[in-house]
Structure 1
Amino acid sequence: MKVDKKWTTVMLSFLMAISVSACGAKDAPPAAKQAPAAPAQTVSEPAAKGGPDYPTKQIELVVPFAAGGGVDLVARATADYLSKEWGQPIVVVNKAGGGGAVGAEYALKQAKSDGYTALAVNVSNTTMLTAGMTNPPVKNEDQIYTSRIGKGTLAFAVKADAPWKDFAEFSQWVKAHPEELTWTSVGPAGFSAFGVAQWLDVIGADFSKTRMIVTKGAADSVPKVAGGHAVLAVHTVGEIMPMLQAGKVRILAVAGEERSPFLPDVPTAEEMGVKGLTVFWWTGVSFAKGTPDYVIAKWQDAIAKMEKDPAFAKKLSDIQVEPDYADSTAFTRDVGQETDAYTELATKKNMRK
């Protein structure tokens, strides 16, 4: 009998398919025993976007103030720690000017948002800058607040031989003679300006009758007070400490609910009957909008670890800065609340320009 070759080919292919399928079914593991799919990674797991490879080159940490100040010293201590932690150099670059706005604009608007340009942020060039200007060059929404690192206590310093015996007496004198009060600040939206404005508001003194003397910062303003060229300097404890230790100025009080650990013998303003002073100095790190999540996560986690390091804690203590870590979520929330409070104060005192 003649067999159709085409039909034979089809049948052979069919039988071979059945044989292969049977063997495969015997050797393959049951479907129920296959490994489940891996869960999606979160921001805290930098591997999601190649994070383990970051950083692969030098990072620039921009300090928008002159070298030697509190922000600069904290930034340098941070850069030193993270350079060793990550095995890549972190270089501090000072770009001063505009009350911190010049450096902030460079880091947040001119440099690439690839994680290799970080900004050392401070209360002066964030919440106070936004509150003090109707159209600030840099806004909160321009950046990702990554981690807060440290804080400083606000202190009220006068000349060493000033006639007032304490802060209560000084406050009473200012309330009665606001036109005689001269105080130093880097500008109308500076840290000192908000500290003075809040204090005068609390004691009921006329802020508009006082006179601000513009300076380049603590290194310029505290000597002016020591020399009698201004009545009051409001800076952090650390910024006033050199002139205090030299016996050139006297600190009448510090703000906050507790005494400064660096000046345990100096009373708080609240102890002197002046309540409600909440202005404080802080510094941290931020990045431009659009920076990858894994970069933010890596900095956030590394700074949290850094704050627990005894050697780093000592560096902060040496410059009279207290550790005050906050992760990105808490930092962003605090900045928002602070901006609202300072904007209300600046509007009330006609400080907005």
Structure 2
Amino acid sequence: MKGYKHWVSVTMSFLLAATVSACATGQSVQGETAAAYPTRQIEYIVPYSAGGGVDLVARATADYLSKEWGQPIVVVNKAGGGGAVGAEFALKQAKNDGYTALAVNVSNTTMLAAGMKNPPIQNEDQIYTARIGKGTLAFAVKADAPWQDFAAFSQWVKENPEELTWTSVGPAGFSAFGVAQWLDAIGADFSKTRMIVTKGASDSVPKVAGSHAVLAVHTVGEIMPMLAAGKVKILAVAGEERSPFLPDVPTAQEQGIDGLTVFWWTGVSFAKGTPDAVIQKWEEGIAKMTSDPAYLQKLGEIQVEPAYADRQQFTQDTEKETGAYTELATKKGIRK
């Protein structure tokens, strides 16, 4: 019996020592892995077609961080469902190991949640890691349209809402929220206006230039090519300040129309459960990137303004924005 007890005691001591050793080793390996991340290729999912604002920002980001971290970051376009298809892949289908990042933006997050009672992707499905940049909302009409300023145009719309046709990728798209907020601000009847469904800015702005729609509401960058060609004119931009890319175009607020706060933004998010060390590395990497003059120059070339927000601020902003857009969508009948 004494021998048995001695054997048990020795065995238990050995197992305890092994367990402690394993835990210590595990912690060490885990720490080394976190410090070394990334150790292989990362897929950066863009839930839209190539060439758009989200895609261009993602490619500039991937290029910067690939060089910074010494590992390839490959942009993969997975378009469809207004950004939901790619988001679902990155947040619900891929492994949450930090090697699948999502190029998240306002359309497939706060606006999606506001426009649908049961959206396929919700704020709770992701970790908002860092916001990168923003785009100013602009109101464009045909170059030879009779209105010379936004105030006169808004008055015409208020008196003739049934004559206003405007473009959007859908009833809960970025343009729809911009139009809804503007019409609410001027007291015009949103329900009497008519939306013309398009595939995006590359389809929408030419429709305005060709007199197939009266108004296009997109970011400055998306309208810029047709503006430079003299096919359309921008009557106003939203926000409290003029766009640095269109310093001669007054804000809506300057023209007596307050409350236009809708703006475009893009950033990075990861699936729930992604290691915190990965989130922190991306957060810090993007903070450094958005203060780098060379990267800022790239953003400027596509008319995107830097708008860095860390994980905490980014999360708070999206939650607040979701509430505001849900209220607007419910009020205007957008929420389905």
TM-score (norm 1): 0.86
Q: 2:103 aligns with which of 114, 117, 120?
A: 120
Residue in structure 2 matched with residue 296 of structure 1 by the alignment: 279
- Tell me if 1:50 matches 2:42: no
- Structure 2 CA distance for aligned equivalents of residues 336 and 239 of structure 1: 26
- Aligned residue in 1 for 2:57: 74
Contact 1:108 1:288 in 2 (8 A): yes
In the aligned structure 2, how far is the partner of 1:214 from the partner of 1:56? 44
CA distance in 1, matches of 2:41, 2:59: 15
Q: Distance in 2 between matches of 1:163 and 1:337?
A: 38
Please give the alpha-carbon distance, in whole angstroms, between the structure 1 residues aligned to 2:157 and 2:248. 24
Deviation at residue 175 of structure 1 after TM alignment: 0.4
Q: Which residue of 2 aligns with 1:249?
A: 232
- Tell me whether 1:189 sits opposite 2:172 in the alignment: yes
The DSSP-based 3-state class of the residue aligned with 2:299 is helix
Q: Does 1:305 align with 2:288?
A: yes
1:27 corresponds to which residue? Answer: none
Aligned match of 1:99: 82
Separation of aligned partners in 2, 1:154 and 1:306: 24
Please say if 1:317 is aligned against 2:300: yes
For the residues of structure 1 that align with 2:31 and 2:329, how far apart are their CA atoms?
43
Which AA in structure 1 matches 2:147?
A: W
Aligned residue pairs total 308
DSSP-derived class of the 2:241 partner: coil
Give structure 2 stretches of 5+ with no counterpart.
1-28
Report how far residue 83 of structure 1 moved.
0.4
Separation in 2, partners of 1:114, 1:319: 31
1: CA distance between counterparts of 2:287 and 2:249?
31
Separation in structure 1 between the aligned mates of residue 81 and residue 32 of structure 2, nearest angstrom: 36
The Cα offsets for residues 93-115 of structure 1, whole Å up to 9 and x where unpaired, read as 11111110000000000000000
Structure 2 counterpart of 1:129, which letter? L
1:9-28 Cα offsets, whole Å, 9 max, x none, are xxxxxxxxxxxxxxxxxxxx
> Does structure 2 retain, via aligned residues, the 8 Å contact 1:48–1:294?
no
What does 1:145-294 correspond to in 2, within 5 Å?
A: 145-294=128-277
* 1:344 alignment partner, one of 322, 327, 332: 327
What is the identity, as a one-letter code, of the residue corresponding to 2:38?
Answer: P
* Distance of 2:70 and 2:37 partners within structure 1: 11
Residue 49 (structure 1) shift? 7.2
Please say if 1:63 is aligned against 2:46.
yes
Q: Tell me if 1:83 matches 2:84.
A: no
Give the number of the structure whose alpha-carbon radius of gyration is greater: 1
| SS of residue matched to 1:279 | coil
> Are the aligned partners of 1:145 and 1:332 in contact in 2 as well (CA < 8 Å)?
yes
Offset at residue 50 of structure 1 (A): 3.1
In structure 1, C-alpha distance between the alignment counterparts of 2:126 and 2:47, rounded to whole Å: 15
Distance, in Å, in 2 between the alignment partners of 1:47 and 1:247 is 58
Which sections of structure 1, spanning at least 5 residues, go unmatched?
A: 1-45
* Cα deviation code 1:220-279 (max 9, x no counterpart): 100000000000000000000000000000000000000000000000000111011000
Displacement, 1:304?
0.3
Q: Deviations over 1:175-219 (max 9, x none)?
A: 000000000001111100000000000000000000001111100
SS in 1 for 2:50: coil
Identity %: 82
What is the letter of the counterpart of residue 321 of structure 2? E
Residue 51 of structure 1: how far off its partner (Å): 1.0
Q: Note the aligned Cα RMSD (angstroms).
A: 1.0
Q: Secondary structure at the match of 1:50?
A: helix
Mapped contact 1:49–1:294 kept (Cα < 8 A): no
Q: State the TM-score, normalizing by the size of structure 2.
A: 0.91
3-state DSSP of counterpart to 2:234? strand
Q: Structure 1: which amino acid aligns with 2:42?
A: I
Measured after TM superposition, the shift of residue 165 of structure 1 is 1.2
